[in-house]
Structure 1
Amino acid sequence: MKQKRRSVIPLYDESGDTLQSRPVCKRDPEQPSLPFDPVPQRVEPCLALLRPTPPEGPEWLYEIKWDGYRLAIHIEPHAVRIITRGGHDWTHRFPKIAETAKKLGVGTAILDGEAVVLNKEGYADFGALQRSLGGRGGKRTSTEAVFFAFDLLHFDGHDLMKTELLVGRHLLSDFLEGAIWAVQLSQEARGDGAELLANACSMGLEGIIAKHRDRPYRSGRTGDWVKIKCVQSESFMIVGYEQSAAARGGIGSLLLVARRGDTWVSVGSVGTGFKTADSEYLRKTLDKLRTKTPAVPLKGKNYVFALPTLIAEIEFRGWTDDGNLRHASYKGLREVQDNAAVFDMKTLTVGK
């Protein structure tokens, strides 16, 4: 049965006039039903800056920080495309999300959000998401993944990226109301930023995101969006491993580096968080990337060096005085298509 198209509540300005987009170009013959703005093939995502404390004030909107893969859903007249942060088409990897998006009852739209797999407590589990996709380089499709939409960039011929955040949120909440399980709205969390962060941490969540309500959607790390984490988690490059006969899989620890501008800098190692299957896969893959020349000066009789190719997501509790990770734990490998950015040490000196 075809799903009935939901009506959209009109938006009004302070004078009572309806807010509508104006035509900015000629009609695209490939989009005959869209007399306004053409739908872009891809949008470079808006990214959040890391800050130690949440910004305060009525101009900020707070959401849960989802621990998954950033995606954009492009709903078109006769198709749905799911695009990764790196610009790769992963529609086939998330069939349930694509199927749900087709049933939302809109002509065209671009939804910005995050795909996650929820654990039994209802929290996002990054490792579970990776396993559902078959691990790094895997070819499996994830039927467990849920897409949490937090912004609407284009809607029925209207470019919403030039409008303030609340316009897109208003429309998004309207047509996602009562949506099927695989596509949901990332709800706004109301209250004081510091209290929300404390509550998120007590629940075992990764953290919160703060977004400026009145700013338009701008690609890159502009400061309009801010992320505050309970437990820090960043992406680091693996440049080798320490052999261990006692450890399962033969890996005692992974050697990690971060960026410092255009160079690599050691941030220590991680020896916990990976299961036997992880260790076996990592050793096999890193052995294929062996090199005699380490990416950074490192000395260890049991070290095996590898070309900087694999990016790992690492959870940690802070930094030592000499720039190493404290209490690091391995979470999983990042996909190339995920376009994960290796942590840059310069961001450690960014102010609040």
Structure 2
Amino acid sequence: MTKPPRKPSKPLLGEADAPLRSRPRRRRDPAQPNLPLDAMPARIEPCLALLMAKPPKGDNWVYEIKWDGYRLSVHIEPTGVRILTRGGHDWTSRFPAIERAAKEFPVATAILDGEAVVLDEQGRPDFSLLQQSLGGRGGKKRSSAALFMAFDLLYFDGHDLRNSELDTRRHLLEDLVPAGGEDDIRLSEEIEADGDQLLESACEHGLEGIIAKRRDAPYSSGRLGDWVKIKCVRSESFMIVGYERSTVARAGIGRLLLAARKGKKLVYVGGVGTGFNERNAYELREKLDGLITSTPAAAVDRKGAVFVKPKLIAEIEYRAWTDDGKLRHASYKGLRDVADGAETYEVKGK
């Protein structure tokens, strides 16, 4: 496929108040020949980003902001709209604003891939605000505050786009979701910038990180490396296997005890005692007390620890690992939901 020449890179977020903009695209030619229609998939396993320490280099990579929320696919069908989580659960009723926005789209059929987020006062995605709007893990609230940041188009007007290059899919997506919109479905815009400079700028602005994608790659389900994520602060999901009581901390939780997967077992990777606010601390204590057990799920040598069944997965920010395999400078972000495809971090080695 012949590609248009690339424009010179522009600095991202170089101006504090300058909005992000994708590079301009040609409008789709309405006189293009009709193609045979493809059956609309009931569900598509998402393409997942592979974690890397540094941004990849080369003209074949394009960049976006990494959104900190719930991965969703929005299915616009002749019978209505369905909103599915990464794990395939139907959460249409939980995102009424996104559903309404999708119904207004001038298209009969489409599948959009993206992320539901709630923005803070500075316009940054905040995972804890998203959780609160949904009533916490296991909650049943309807979130009217959540927006959908669309970053890919997998099916459009009867055509399956998964075998098309990313450039082609983005071309069609930007016709459907124009850049700079303020609706409840917005475009996650591609950014012309040097990867290292973009990551540095994103981190300075308090964002989670960036995503890099191969512009000539088809859409492949799974974590194959066509998409990669580079984070400002490391963030992974760990199993809660217990907690330590405190007489001064909120809800009496002094520290959560965390574990990662290693093969078929759970191994203790340390604890976290910061990041709680009053609300989520009391909600967490209530859930933990319903899971107390005398049998630890991982080998934990902590005097006075209260052990719980391994049912709750916490999202944890951390800076590094110690030499003995424990988390350094960890901070609690919230509970992950199984419906969001939460996976416990896996440590490598023997």
TM-score (norm 2): 0.89
Alignment of 1:80-91 (within 5 A): 80-91=81-92
- Number of residue pairs matched by the alignment: 324
**1:338 alignment partner AA:** D
Match of 1:315 among 314, 317, 322: 317
The alpha-carbon deviation at position 139 of structure 1 amounts to 1.2
Superposed CA deviations along residues 272-318 of structure 1, whole A, max 9, x for unmatched, are 01122222222221121111111111122220001110011111111
Match of 1:342 among 316, 332, 344: 344
Divergent runs of 4+, >6 A? none
SS of the residue corresponding to residue 345 of structure 1 reads coil
Superposed CA deviations along residues 119-138 of structure 1, whole A, max 9, x for unmatched, are 01000000000011111111
Match of 1:204 among 206, 215, 218: 206
Alignment of 1:116-131 (within 5 A): 116-131=117-132
Aligned equivalents of 1:185, 1:242: Cα separation in 2 = 43
Aligned equivalents of 1:333, 1:316: Cα separation in 2 = 15
| Partner residue in 2 for 1:254 | 256
Match of 2:237 among 226, 235, 238: 235
| Partner residue in 2 for 1:269 | 271
Aligned equivalents of 1:315, 1:152: Cα separation in 2 = 30
The alpha-carbon deviation at position 90 of structure 1 amounts to 0.4
Aligned equivalents of 1:163, 1:20: Cα separation in 2 = 16
Alignment of 1:109-120 (within 5 A): 109-120=110-121
Sequence identity, in percent? 60
**1:205 alignment partner AA:** L
TM-score (norm 1): 0.89
Aligned equivalents of 1:204, 1:8: Cα separation in 2 = 34
**2:76 alignment partner AA:** I
Aligned equivalents of 1:279, 1:182: Cα separation in 2 = 30
**1:133 alignment partner AA:** L
| Partner residue in 1 for 2:152 | 151
SS of the residue corresponding to residue 314 of structure 2 reads strand
Aligned equivalents of 2:102, 2:52: Cα separation in 1 = 33
The gaps in structure 1 that reach 5 residues or longer are 1-6, 13-17, 24-35
SS of the residue corresponding to residue 149 of structure 2 reads strand
Alignment of 1:287-306 (within 5 A): 287-306=289-308
The alpha-carbon deviation at position 104 of structure 1 amounts to 1.1
Aligned equivalents of 1:275, 1:289: Cα separation in 2 = 21
Alignment of 1:40-189 (within 5 A): 40-177=41-178, 181-189=183-191
The alpha-carbon deviation at position 95 of structure 1 amounts to 0.2
**Superposition RMSD in Å:** 1.8
1:276–1:52 Cα change, 3 Å: same
SS of the residue corresponding to residue 28 of structure 2 reads coil
Q: Tell me if the contact between 1:8 and 1:175 (Cα under 8 Å) persists in the aligned partners.
A: no
Aligned equivalents of 1:97, 1:283: Cα separation in 2 = 32
Aligned equivalents of 1:39, 1:75: Cα separation in 2 = 10
Question: Greater shift after overlay, 204-213 or 268-277?
Answer: 268-277
